[in-house]
Amino acid sequence: NIKEIIVSIQNVKPYRLIEIVDSLVSLPVKVKVVPPVEKWIDGNLQIGQINEVKIEDLLNRNPIKIDNPILHKELNDKVILVTGAAGSIGGEIAMQIGNYGYKHVILLDQAESALYELQQEYFRKKYKNFSIEVADIRNVQRMESIFDNYDIDIVFHAAAYKHVPLMEESPYEAVRVNIFGTRILMDLAVKYGVEKFVMVSTDKAVNPTNVMGATKRVAEIYANCMNILDKTKFVTTRFGNVLGSNGSVIPLFKKQIAEGGPIQVTHKEITRYFMTISEACSLVLEAGVMGNGGEIYVFDMGESVRIYDLARQMIHLSGLKYPQDIDIQIVGLRPGEKLYEELLSNKENTLPTYNDKIMIAKVDKADCTSIKEKIIELSELNDTDKFAIVSKIKVVVPEFISNNSEFEKLDKIS
């Protein structure tokens, strides 16, 4: 009749916790863990501090903690624009910026409800000197007015369409947001003398097999080309999946478990890299301030995780048994989906930085004159022919080879 098992090993390593959880997988019990002594209240352990094991505890990687005085110096007294501020990444960046001595922060998104929630969180935290801008980054005049109204020092650009299957269906929208919208912001950053432009990218931009990843790679190339123009420094940060972000696999699995299953996994061998939202955004901020312009920063994501194993662990952490209580259904790869992700292409190596969790990808320089013309042409295509749009993307990103997608025939033609 045991319902809970409490692990009281101090500072238990992730791999050891995985072993313990796996050894109990056949039992319908919840596993809880005692926090480290330094987190006890006045030297005493409170019962409320004994928490259930979270899925991020099982990623076999040590949590990343950043408290860099350079961040305080670089963000102090700055006017900062955060795009996509209502999203998972943009919102966390916005909240972390609140801990530094900024001069003013502009929180921009077109999703008004989520932006309202962020505004309320800023009020609750008693953060001051901030503005809310409900706006679409594709609207040139609106973006120009924002850059004109605020003397912006730093841009953290997190606005993007990110869902792979949806963007396979809507390449025009992917281009309009991830390329055209990004291009508008970068051009304005140069025009208005912004000091630094930090773009959030994705590991799906590496050897892309889908429209979303390819459009983000185009944005990376454009950022790299823009860096040579003026005083504005363009920095790109590239990382994998974020635990608990909107539409990610963890909340989806939790929902499927709550509904009684089955959990749907696209392939038994599919793997992904994960880190927490707070870790990812801390690294974005640090990479942003350390960048001198032109860098693509990649993060140490730890070891990749097999999604099938993740699903089994989540079932067990819910106090249920697989497959008796919750089954796992293999549904097949979605259009454009990879079996595994990469943070670097075959042509890329890395250079170290002072933070061993952040590396610089050595990327070949593009022919910027030719590439910029193609990107501008791509940005201005209409939505009547998605095959024409994807074909143009493949010209800019020749390593873009479609997978499990209707666009595979374009690769055969070329």
279 closest CA partner among 114, 50, 63, 105: 63
Q: Record the tokens describing residue 195, joined without a space.
A: 């000091």
> Scanning the structure block, which residue is given the tokens 């110096």?
73
Q: Record the tokens describing residue 276, joined without a space.
A: 């927490």
Q: Record the tokens describing residue 99, joined without a space.
A: 């801990």
Active-site residue identified among 204, 216, 357, 392? 204
CA pseudo-torsion sign 362, 367, 369, 374: negative
Distance CA 94, CA 86 (A): 9
Is 409 an active-site residue? no
178 closest CA partner among 161, 190, 166, 164: 161
CA distances from residue 349 to 65, 234, 284, 345 in whole angstroms, order as listed: 25, 20, 20, 8
CA distances from residue 215 to 184, 273, 395 in whole angstroms, order as listed: 15, 20, 12
The per-residue b/e assignment along 371-410, b for 16 or more CB within 10 angstroms, e otherwise, is bbebbeebbebeeeebeebbebbbebbeebbbbbbebeeb
Which amino acid, 19? Answer: E
76 phi and psi, to 5 degrees?
Answer: -65, 130
DSSP class of 180: I
Q: Record the tokens describing residue 322, joined without a space.
A: 């697989």
Strands, E assignment, 150-190: 154-157
Residue 412 CB neighbour total at 10 angstroms? 7
105 phi and psi, to 5 degrees?
Answer: -125, 135
The torsion of the CA quartet 79, 177, 238, 113, rounded to 10 degrees, works out to: 60
- 14-23 and 307-317 helices cross at what angle (nearest 10)? 70
CA 238 to chain centre: 8
Distance CA 35, CA 43 (A): 12
Judging by beta carbons within 10 Å of its beta carbon (0-12, 13-18, 19+), is residue 41 exposed, middle or buried? exposed
User: Could you tell me if 352 and 295 are in contact, meaning their C-beta atoms sit under 8 angstroms apart?
Assistant: no
Residues belonging to the active site = 204
